[in-house]
Chain A
Amino acid sequence: MKAPLSWIKEYVDLPAELGIEEITDRLTALGLKLEAIETSGAGIEGPLVVGQVLTQEPEPQKNGKVINWCTVDVGDANGTGEPQGIVCGAHNFKPGDKVVVILPGGVLPGNFQISARKTYGHMSAGMICSARELGLGEEADGIIVLPADAPAPGTDAREALGLGEEVIEFEINPDRAYALSMRGIARDAALGFDVPFHDPAQRDVPLANAEGYPVRIDDEAGCDYFVARTVTGFDPTAPTPEFIKKRLEQVGVRSISLGVDVTNYVMFELGHPIHAYDKAKLAGPIVVRRAHEGEKLTTLDDTVRELDPEDLVVCDDTGPIGMGGVMGGASTEISKTTTDVLIEVAHWDPRSMFRTGRRHKLTSEAGKRNERGVDPLLPPIAADRVVELLVEHGGGVAEPGVTEVGPGASLETRKPPTTITIPISLPTRIIGIELDDETVVKSLELIGARVKVEDGTLTATVPTYRPDLNDPYDLVEEVARIVGYDKVPSVLPRRATGGGLTRAQQLRRRIGRALAGAGLVEVVDFPFVGEADFDRLGLSADDVLRRTVKLANPLNSEEPGYATTLLPGLLKVAARNISRGQDGVSLFETATVAFPVDQAAPIYGVDRRPSAEEMEKLLAAIPRQPLHLAVVLAGERTRGGWWGAAETASWSDAIDVVRRLGAELGVPVEVASASRAPWHPGRCAVVSIDGVEFGHAGELHPNVCKAFGLPARSAAVEIDLDHLISKVPATAAGPVFSTMPVAKEDVALTVSVDVTVAAVEAALREGAGELLETVRLFDVYEGDQVGEGKKSLAFALRFRAPDRTLKAEETAAAREAAVAKAAELTGAVQR
């Protein structure tokens, strides 16, 4: 919201000594936040004067352009009194016109130095300026032509242009709709400095009568007040007065025609949107109703809109002629030939305005105010002000007929003003500043409330320009902002007695640290996925991971799903790092993934807490979102150097990540072979705890490495971290270990190649019995010496008794038993 300071000052007696920064500081403290201060003409230096064009000779150029060689009277401003020769490319002027000239030595915004220079075969001494060149607007259809009554040639042009005017841009919060007007801003400025406010809405208006244009409201819930006034015999060619033009430009609105400009001007002045119809184009009485199914309307922006039965429309005998409160229709728009104007100022239901605006993706200055709520008493006042300006500047006659319909039109049927009752101690309690009753009452009276205090209870009748004030705490905020947020002291609340981080929160941190400690780098990535990602992973058509929670409005239509797996994103990140020159990356990401549940979440009321069953139903409809960990090991896992060659990441590194995490958390992880995309079918492990699978690890399928542009043999992990964390014992049992001497035995066993090490190891354990302390594979051999289809596994066994030194025979017996069990269960033959 842009507001010229001079316009605000029309309605508030601000002390002359107040600087603009003091004013904006105070308004910011009151909730009207300063965004920027613009001073028109900033950046213009040197002689900027009024000039009068004496001669104008068009000269066609080789490049097809036509330039004007002009002589311009600039009075004595050039020091000689002689006409100034200037080349000008614009054509929207003629000899005799008064224009704005910057003379050599001057500077235009953007540090554009002006000097006399040779161009198009002439010595051009200065420049005739456009609004854009002066930094006054975006329009550059031509140069500025000043009105005929502009000061004499040679006069400084700054005043004529209104330069030096300060325009404040505010950021207005949606609850403070009143501040979308000079009236509202001036009002806060007045209360901020405790100076008199002159309400521009304070005016006598003619009473409603039966002679006005016929209007009927069929939907009073949507429109509770409709005022119509008529001006006839209006001159459609009358120019918009300069002050209106200038102010509209300052607030950022284009001047169109007197009729349109006046409605905009009054909207910025008072805050109420206004619509003007070409009365000659109206057919029959105006009716306000909801649109009918299938009805269409061409709006002012020349867009055909399919109306929704919820949209409020203004109709005549031809059907809808406007979307009430949001945008007018093209068929009744005022034009260059309009002589009779019908003014509409109506009070609309904010919710309907909001919905219609959203439905048709329409944002307009009118809609913005109507959907946030405007002062319901303004319609007759705003209408009268428009009539006044139209008659004053466009001639014509104000018709005596005054239409006022709807419950808002009379005191008896009008919605009574809002009253709010609070304990007078509430502001003190909530703000945390000791406030006496007088301060509270005064603050509320400053915003225009009528206040009554009785037995510690305060009742405020809220002024109509503040439809945002409805709740007790709304009054607290008003008191707080007037007393000043800067007065709120800094007091820590009493010490809370929380139990610290939960176990799961601690474990998540621990997992992150363990992974980082193992040389893995954490990344954060977006959770959006698409079919192409799943294809690249090589997932089958019916893979459960393809069933995503779908976004209705994804940023990228290729990625409409919420991740069911972190791998596509992480693989892309790995490839990005490799392409940026890393020889290898070891990455991890922890994030939730989502699986749809296909249930609708209810929408409950907000007047009470939902019951336990209702909560259960609500929570059951939210997609299941387990926390996943994904790891990618691509390229070099260890670097090469003086110690030897680099090692490339492999399937075993991936599985080791999971095993180590298990060890870190005290959870034994079981590893078994599996076949699951996107992993290499022969190099994929499923990991489980107590027989419950919680993820996979291993080498990626070669096609996946290719598809993502990753080095061959890249490896990956994806596990359900919530499951792992849930299996972490609450307390770890202290270990019992023997300090007796250890007895070491090695065994070499030949087994079929398809027998897993885990199976042989399990058999050895089972056979060796309790004396076995550890068993560890230390060599694998396949080749001629063991024969086709066989492999040799060498295990180191360590035996120890809790209470004695083991005798050689005991160790040997345990070893034999282990080998025998391995033979029995896995067909192992001792070498």
Chain B
Amino acid sequence: MSGPNTDYDPVEVTPLKAEEVEAARDAALKAIDAATSLEELKQTRLDHAGDRSPLALANREIGALPPAARKDAGQRVGKARGAVNQALAARQKVLEAEHEARMLVEETVDVTLPTDRVPAGGRHPLTTGAEYIADIFVAMGWEVAEGPLIEAEWLNFDALNLGPDHPARTMQDTFWTEPAENHVVLRTHTSPVQARTMLTREAPIYVVCPGRVFRTDEYDATHSPMFHQVEGLAIDEGISMANLKGTLDHFATQMFGEGIVTRFRPSYFPFTEPSAEVDLTCFVCRGAQVVDAGDGQMITCRTCKGEGWIEWGGCGIVNPRVLVACGVDPEKYSGFAFGMGIDRTLMFRTGLSDLRTLFEGDVRLTTAFGSEL
């Protein structure tokens, strides 16, 4: 850079001439405008705003001017450079946005490509079904009780008023463990959990017990040596059949939807008296006994065989003999109990027709239900 030169006539320094500066500025702006990519703009920046650009060179000359001339020239050059830089920045922004947009377009993928690197898992519908049922009762303030699958004979039978010679024992063919004199069986129903609950808790009792049970049934589409039941037990002061009906109606509606209720028929179970069979409004025809064949013609409902009802389970008022064996005062308390097949309930709900599908472990069953029922 040159030192001050008082002999120098500013007007005579060519690069600082107003027209020169304007020309340089205009050239720069034109080039900036013409840049179509970030690379071109980078070159334009070097050419028109870099160290060797006309305006930069002009700027260098300012210092050599006499002080009187510096202000005027400085303002002129500074303004021009400012305009160029501004245009550069603006153009940069535009080009960057364009670049980004182009990149995104280029990165487009086919989102319908498969994404199932890890196959989906799932929980068994019997598990989620049992939970669904339990939750209906838990929401009413009931608790979920449990007991072992291999059970003392006394709890499975005697305590429930099924004495050693009770004819009802032939109704449930039992898996006995060896030696027989150990009096241990695979539980034939979830009812021993009733006994256990009464033996270990104080009334009032409101428990539901979903669980696995065993009977020596041959394995076919509707029978299995292992199946699942849900047992309910309420022991309180003033419990009546009306409470039982109320509870089961609520259960049915929660399980199968509005309009599905229960019907009682007299029956016999040693552990309840009075006893009842529970029928459920047919969830297919919803009690109408007929269904639309699909062509507007009404035909007899196949699910309930035109009865409007289907068998669901058994229930009754807890036999006072059971209360006594389990240490509940029958003078003070009464109770009700009920039991339904979960497998059957599940088949109703899901339309499965072969019980064996539930137990053969094909992953296609479970994954069809996802992780919840």
Contact = CB atoms under 8 A, between A and B. Distances in A.
Interface of A: 28-31, 33, 173-176, 351, 354-355, 358, 371-372, 429-433, 471-474, 476-477, 480-481, 485-486, 488-502, 505, 509, 512-513, 515-527, 549-555, 562, 570, 573-574, 576-577, 580, 582, 584-587, 591-592, 594, 598-604, 606-610, 615, 618-619, 621-623, 625, 637-639, 641-643
Contacts of B121: 515-522, 586
Nearest to B205: A496
Contact of A429 (B184, B212, B240): B240
B20 interface: no
Interface string B303-339: 0000000000000010111001111000000100000
Given A28-B265, A429-B334, A498-B141, A476 B274 contact: yes
A488 B242 contact: yes
Contacts of B124: 522-524
Contacts of B359: 524-526
Closest 5 A/B residue pairs (Cβ): A432-B242, A609-B327, A432-B240, A31-B266, A573-B361
A638 B115 CA distance: 11
Contacts of B167: 174, 354, 371-372
A500 B138 contact: yes
B143 interface: yes
Contact of B140 (A372, A496, A549): A496
B355 to A, nearest CB: 11
27 contacts: A432-B241, A432-B242, A473-B274, A473-B320, A480-B241, A481-B266, A485-B266, A485-B276, A488-B242, A488-B264, A490-B242, A490-B245, A492-B243, A496-B143, A522-B122, A522-B124, A524-B127, A552-B180, A562-B177, A573-B360, A573-B361, A592-B149, A599-B182, A601-B182, A602-B183, A606-B324, A625-B148
A88 B225 CA distance: 49
Contact of A525 (B204, B277, B361): B361
Contacts of B134: 501
B361 to A, nearest CB: 3
A493 B274 contact: no
Contacts of B207: 498
Contacts of B238: 429
A501 B218 CA distance: 35
A274 B99 CA distance: 104
- Chain B interface size band reads 35 or more
B133 to A, nearest CB: 13
Chain B interface main SS type = mixed
A231 to B, nearest CB: 34
Interface string B177-219: 1111111101000000000000100001011000010001011
A174 B361 contact: no
Contacts of A523: 124, 361, 363, 366
A643 B170 CA distance: 61
B116 A33 contact: no
B362 A600 contact: no
A358 B170 contact: yes
Contacts of B321: 471, 606
Contact of A577 (B153, B265, B362): B362
Given A550-B177, A606-B158, A497 B141 contact: yes
A431 B242 contact: yes
A245 to B, nearest CB: 31
Contact of A173 (B116, B204, B267): B267
Given A490-B261, A498-B143, A603-B158, 17 more contacts: A173-B266, A371-B167, A476-B274, A477-B275, A499-B143, A516-B122, A521-B121, A521-B122, A523-B361, A551-B176, A552-B179, A553-B175, A587-B363, A607-B325, A622-B148, A622-B150, A625-B148
A486 B226 contact: no
Interface stretch (B41-49, B246-254, B285-293): B246-254
A475 to B, nearest CB: 10
B9 interface: no
B178 A498 contact: no
Contacts of A625: 148-150
B64 interface: no
Nearest to B334: A430
Contacts of B204: 496
B84 interface: no
B348 interface: no
B113 A521 contact: no
A563 to B, nearest CB: 10
B136 interface: no
Contact of B127 (A512, A552, A586): A512
Contacts of A496: 140-143, 204, 206, 234
Contacts of B226: 526-527
Nearest to B273: A473
Nearest to B165: A351
A554 B218 CA distance: 11
Interface string B116-132: 11111111101100010
Contacts of B170: 358
Contact of B326 (A519, A600, A609): A609
Contacts of A471: 273, 319-321
A521 B367 contact: yes
B143 A549 contact: no
Contacts of B151: 622
A623 B246 CA distance: 38
A281 B161 CA distance: 44
A516 B265 contact: no
Nearest to A580: B362
Given A175-B268, A498-B206, A486 B154 contact: no
A477 B276 CA distance: 10
A59 to B, nearest CB: 47
Contacts of A518: 121
Contact of B150 (A498, A526, A555, A594): A594
A731 to B, nearest CB: 22
Contacts of A582: 363
Contacts of B320: 471-473
Contacts of B264: 485-486, 488
Contacts of A609: 199, 324-327
B236 interface: yes
Contacts of A477: 266, 273-275
Contacts of A494: 236
B158 A577 contact: no
A491 B245 contact: yes
B263 interface: yes
Contact of A31 (B171, B175, B265): B265
Contacts of B334: 429-430
Contact of B183 (A355, A586, A603): A603
Candidate in A355, A433, A497, A521 with the most chain B CB atoms within 10 angstroms: A521
A345 B97 CA distance: 107
Given A174-B168, A473-B317, A606-B325, A492 B158 contact: no
Nearest to B207: A498
Contacts of B117: 638-639, 641, 643
Contacts of A638: 117-119
A586 B264 CA distance: 44
Contacts of A601: 152-154, 182-184
B224 to A, nearest CB: 8
Contact of B176 (A358, A553, A622): A553
B67 to A, nearest CB: 52
